[in-house]
Structure 1
Amino acid sequence: MNLIRKILIANRGEIAVRVVRACRDLHIESVAVYTKPDRESLHVRIATEAYEIGEHPMNGYLDGAKIVEIAKQCGADAIHPGYGFLSENYEFAKLVEDAGLIFIGPKADVIRKMGNKNIARYLMRKNGIPVVPGTEAINHENIDTIKRYAKQIGYPVILKASGGGGGRGIREVHKEEDLERLLEDCKREAKAFFNNEEVFMEKLVINPRHIEFQILADNYGNVIHLMERDCSIQRRHQKIIEIAPSPTVSENLRKTMGVTAVAAAKAVGYSNVGTVEFLLDDYNNFYFMEMNTRIQVEHGVTEEITGVDLIVRQIRAASGEILDLEQSDIKANGFAIEARITAEDASKNFLPALGKVVGYYPALGPSVRVDSHLYKDYNVPPFYDSLLAKLIVTGTSYDLAVNKLERALEEFSIEGITTTIPLLLAVVKGREFRRGFFDTSYTDKNMASLVKEMEKYKNKANKFKKEDDLHIVIAEAVRMFESENKR
């Protein structure tokens, strides 16, 4: 077994903070890297060591060679890629492996196979995993042939970038006259975001639920799942609320989908932590959509219902430890819901919001968790993902968890910048959300009424604000005291 003593975190923001804290729990030294705009970021402040990787806001976090060089110079044994940036870049994983360092994730070849959605679809079909009817890559075909494929599949269809993710490189096509234009749009976006304009076509599953299974595997072929998350509340194919387990998936369906997810992971020799994502239709037919070969933004809800620390498990698996859990050990303890709070104005077509955080009052109380890199006087830079905080609540029932989320959102206040808290409140207070009657189209379909509803919460005074100045200080002091005692 490889004993990891020091980990370089090739990321920023909330996930970098999360990994630093996992390292501290394991008495492992942590190394932060940062670009000039992130010099005062929280992950830089709390890591054991920190190194600047350049002045350019983006290039530094994408400079795999520089990151590996710093890791070797500072004596790190391993690199944790977090999510985004280089986390699903197989060339970076191979660079880390070739340097004699441990990449905390699956092997580079697995990332390569599963990172290309077209290759992933082929591998799943080959191994009997259900996939949505569709094509291979269509870039080499002429438009008449592509139109013929679309007719054979049946409109509506969806165009997807083979190397895509995060809701990018996707176009829905409902009629033939729009196909050529949307195909060119899709290829341009795929080239811009993923440097790969390869596109394929699938049947558009109308108003499905997005159900994903968390996978945990060691290096010796042992694989289990940690139940599912319902990620159907989205806007423009990007998740905003996640629930574990799904409030509408039956126990029999859960078992069937779970077994399928594990089979998908075994089919590609998967190791470490990953996620198998499915589309679920109204008739309980489910189809493989993609596999994310990294930790997910929403991993916290799985941790809350299972008691399994997924970042710690990543590190232990990468160290060569044999998985000491069996499928029968995994049981859900109630429900957990995560709301992603972002720096955007939902009433203005999700216009990015920038500025200084002049007041930060995160929700506290029983069964409430906040994962964030924010603090008072933090300047939100314009260069990165808009995620500010992940608010996670738990309850013994779905209904109680929704109540807690509503209460926590009403208490949560981030002053100085516009956030999506009012939109999240509008969704959570809705009858459909409480009843579990929603699918991936819910937010986009109801945006006009949601925007109207969220106006009620935009200027809502925070009743707990005056007392929070004191109890935030106390809470932080307690956290620091506990952290020091663990070291």
Structure 2
Amino acid sequence: MFAKILIANRGEIACRVIETARKMGIATVAVYSDADADARHRALADEAVRIGPAPVSESYLNGERIIEAARAAGAQAIHPGYGFLSENPGFVGAVEAAGLAFIGPSAASIRAMGLKDAAKALMAEAGVPVVPGYHGARQDTDFLAAEADKIGYPVLIKARAGGGGKGMRLVEDPADFAAALEGAQREGQSSFGDAAVLIEKYITTPRHIEVQVFGDRHGNVVHLWERDCSLQRRHQKVIEEAPAPGMPPDVRAAMTGAAVRAARAVDYHNAGTIEFIVDGSGPLRPDGFWFMEMNTRLQVEHPVTEAITGLDLVEWQLRVAAGEALPLAQDEIPLNGHAFEARVYAEDPAKGFLPAPGPLLHVAFPDGARVDTGVRGGDRISAHYDPMIAKLTTHAAGRAEALFRLRQALGRTHISGTSTNLGFLQALCLDPDFAAGRMDTGLIGREQEALTHVGPPDDAATLFGALAALDLDPARPFFGFRLWGSASRRVELVSDGQLVARGLRLLGPRQIAVEDGGRSVTFEAVTIGPDWMRARQGGRNLLARVAKVGSAVSVLLDGRITDFAVIDPLAVEPSGGAAENRIAAPMTGLVRSVPVEAGSQVAKGDILVVLEAMKMEHSLRAASDGVVQAVHCAVGDHVSDGTLLVEFAPGERQPEGEEAHV
């Protein structure tokens, strides 16, 4: 067995590999870019080596630098994780030429499965069913259009070197074929350096079911059952499960048998996945699935397979790479219960799932679920890399219980500072078709508007956010200012870029009314804890988790996260002295604009810095006339709460055209 390995990756998969290596007594070397200098995977590893600037082309895709780091650190093998260089046969060859072991398949196996057209021809020869289509070399438009006519519409144009939905176009009308072909070829060339495409029959109600396979260097190949990955948006997986719902024994036998034949056809060793497109228009049947592609690496969704088998797939990877035989024979591999995995991303589902890089002000995961993550509270989701925050995996004896546990885990996960897809994932868990196991790859697209709808902040969340933001406690005697009658406060918060203005009126001990115009909602038994708040309203007992970082407050209530900010630099004038001379960041954020420089003369209210935080822009303004003494930030800087941004000298602003006299 290896004494030390290098992990050529980052984020949650790097942390995952470190976990198993540590369990096996294997030392680990992490690599990191400048953007990951404080990343969790670097902190967990025994050693860490900087490999370059933030762009992947200069860091995590720099194979030469990674191999150099492995040799310098005395590592004996390299684990590629997934993505980056994991399916690059040239990198595999370079690793082995350097006298190191590659913890994955051979370069020949990767090449055999790397081009979709050649892979499908090989699979057909091995007796693995393939989707009807054209997988040949001719690429002229008229010929491909004629092949599409033969196959019958709708058809799918796919970049032969593609993956992740890139270079893929669905064509339902022959009149649209030429334009779609041009787009797929252009995207294939830009993404993979290969404009060639293949044409396939489009299955109108497709399910995506894949089989985990494993091989060793002793000729053994096994499968570890199947996973259903049909819940996708833009061809990207969202929630995966194992085993596939509604899977009859004869279909499972046919599909897993085909997967093992596929792996044997390319003399495969280590972890791999055979992906099938399946006709989901009715019950699954033995002649209703077709080979789609092989992923020659560990998959993101491997935790669900580990959950139903009780096995550690990374441990298997390490043992096979070290020359050992597979730990178990096919009939010894268990299948117990049901498991789900949900991918938690920093993205905005309401805006087409746009990535939402930014600060993670607060991160808290629940008990009762497996959590794979590469981040901690206070970290940032970088715009340079995939915006995944974590994967949550739940397991139970049956599918319904496992799904219920997943929904609970998602509702108890508290992440603030940037947008996430947590609400979308919870809504998806409640979708009746998904709950019943009736899903296909188009489910999210059909229901996207309903699944991504977000209403205004709940009255209770607003109350809890206001109490935390303004440090108000209804148990204290000075809840608010009063001349007569009940104590009250007017609060103005910002949530998702929108102003939320409410009145809070103290009616009695721990009793507060939230007022909005002529509407009033009364909350009783309001109690504040160190990181929680309770209240009772209309027969509902409410318990919220509350996190406050600087001027930002995040409330987790009934599974929904609502972020609030109280930022109004002009609302409170500086008291003089040092406070007037220093403009600091009121919260963690990104500097978007600095319209001044040292020597700039400004008037009271002029913008000095624009800071993006809590999903909106905040203008930090001069509290008086004066002169900018120094600027300590630049556009693009990520700054923490309290960071000095501008030094400012109050004084009378000089009229235009006049000079100050000494």
TM-score range, shorter chain: over 0.9
Give the 3-state SS of the residue equivalent to 1:53 in structure 2.
strand
Partner of 2:362: 359
Partner of 1:31: 29
Q: How does 1:316-331 map to 2 (within 5 A)?
A: 316-331=319-334
In structure 2, relative to structure 1, the CA distance for the partners of 1:161 and 1:456 (3 Å cut) is: farther
In structure 2, relative to structure 1, the CA distance for the partners of 1:321 and 1:307 (3 Å cut) is: same
Q: How does 1:244-259 map to 2 (within 5 A)?
A: 244-259=242-257
Give the 3-state SS of the residue equivalent to 2:222 in structure 1.
strand
Give the 3-state SS of the residue equivalent to 1:465 in structure 2.
strand
Give the 3-state SS of the residue equivalent to 2:81 in structure 1.
coil
Partner of 2:65: 66
Q: CA deviation at 1:338?
A: 0.3
CA distance, structure 2, for counterparts of residue 419 and residue 98 of structure 1: 43
Partner of 2:276: 278
CA distance, structure 2, for counterparts of residue 206 and residue 364 of structure 1: 40
Partner of 2:112: 113
Give the 3-state SS of the residue equivalent to 1:446 in structure 2.
helix
Partner of 1:472: none
Q: CA deviation at 1:231?
A: 0.3
Q: CA deviation at 1:455?
A: 4.2
Give the 3-state SS of the residue equivalent to 1:40 in structure 2.
coil
2:156 touches 2:199 (CA, 8 Å); kept in 1? yes
1:411 touches 1:464 (CA, 8 Å); kept in 2? no
Partner of 1:302: 305
CA distance, structure 2, for counterparts of residue 372 and residue 61 of structure 1: 18
Q: CA deviation at 1:276?
A: 0.5
Partner of 2:393: 392
Give the 3-state SS of the residue equivalent to 1:248 in structure 2.
coil
Unaligned runs of at least 5 residues, structure 1: 470-487
In structure 2, relative to structure 1, the CA distance for the partners of 1:432 and 1:41 (3 Å cut) is: same
In structure 2, relative to structure 1, the CA distance for the partners of 1:137 and 1:385 (3 Å cut) is: farther
Partner of 1:444: 445
CA distance, structure 1, for counterparts of residue 347 and residue 133 of structure 2: 34
Give the 3-state SS of the residue equivalent to 1:201 in structure 2.
strand
Give the 3-state SS of the residue equivalent to 2:211 in structure 1.
strand
1:371 touches 1:390 (CA, 8 Å); kept in 2? yes
In structure 2, relative to structure 1, the CA distance for the partners of 1:247 and 1:178 (3 Å cut) is: same
- Partner deviation per Cα, 1:392-414 (whole Å, 9 max, x = no partner): 00111001011101111110111
- Partner deviation per Cα, 1:417-441 (whole Å, 9 max, x = no partner): 1011111011101111110011111
User: Aligned letter for 2:317?
Assistant: Q
User: Aligned letter for 2:121?
Assistant: Y
Give the 3-state SS of the residue equivalent to 1:105 in structure 2.
coil
Q: How does 1:86-485 map to 2 (within 5 A)?
A: 86-137=85-136, 140-281=138-279, 282=281, 284=285, 285-365=288-368, 368-452=369-453, 455=455, 463=543, 465=545
Partner of 2:83: 84
CA distance, structure 1, for counterparts of residue 440 and residue 19 of structure 2: 34
CA distance, structure 1, for counterparts of residue 457 and residue 268 of structure 2: 45
CA distance, structure 2, for counterparts of residue 408 and residue 460 of structure 1: 22
In structure 2, relative to structure 1, the CA distance for the partners of 1:276 and 1:233 (3 Å cut) is: same
Correspondence for 2:3 among 2, 5, 8: 5
User: Aligned letter for 2:323?
Assistant: G
- Partner deviation per Cα, 1:200-240 (whole Å, 9 max, x = no partner): 11111112111000011111110110000000000011100
1:422 touches 1:458 (CA, 8 Å); kept in 2? no
Q: CA deviation at 1:466?
A: 5.7
2:80 touches 2:103 (CA, 8 Å); kept in 1? yes
Q: CA deviation at 1:324?
A: 2.8
Give the 3-state SS of the residue equivalent to 1:69 in structure 2.
helix
1:105 touches 1:273 (CA, 8 Å); kept in 2? yes
User: Greater shift after overlay, 190-199 or 217-226?
Assistant: 190-199
CA distance, structure 1, for counterparts of residue 73 and residue 136 of structure 2: 43
Q: CA deviation at 1:331?
A: 2.3
Give the 3-state SS of the residue equivalent to 2:135 in structure 1.
strand
1:425 touches 1:457 (CA, 8 Å); kept in 2? no
- Partner deviation per Cα, 1:21-58 (whole Å, 9 max, x = no partner): 11101111111111100111100011011011111421
1:371 touches 1:389 (CA, 8 Å); kept in 2? yes
1:125 touches 1:131 (CA, 8 Å); kept in 2? yes
Structure with more contact order per residue of length (Cα contacts < 8 Å, sep ≥ 6):
1
Q: Flag the structure with larger Rg.
A: 2
Partner of 1:485: none
CA distance, structure 2, for counterparts of residue 334 and residue 167 of structure 1: 31
Q: Which runs of 4+ in 1 moved over 6 A?
A: 456-460
Partner of 1:15: 13
Q: CA deviation at 1:458?
A: 9.6
User: Aligned letter for 1:411?
Assistant: R
1:228 touches 1:245 (CA, 8 Å); kept in 2? yes
1:130 touches 1:288 (CA, 8 Å); kept in 2? yes
Q: Greater strand share, 1 or 2?
A: 2
Partner of 1:475: none
1:87 touches 1:294 (CA, 8 Å); kept in 2? yes
Unaligned runs of at least 5 residues, structure 2: 462-531, 533-542, 550-662
1:137 touches 1:198 (CA, 8 Å); kept in 2? no
Q: CA deviation at 1:449?
A: 1.9
TM-score by length of 2: 0.68
Give the 3-state SS of the residue equivalent to 1:196 in structure 2.
coil
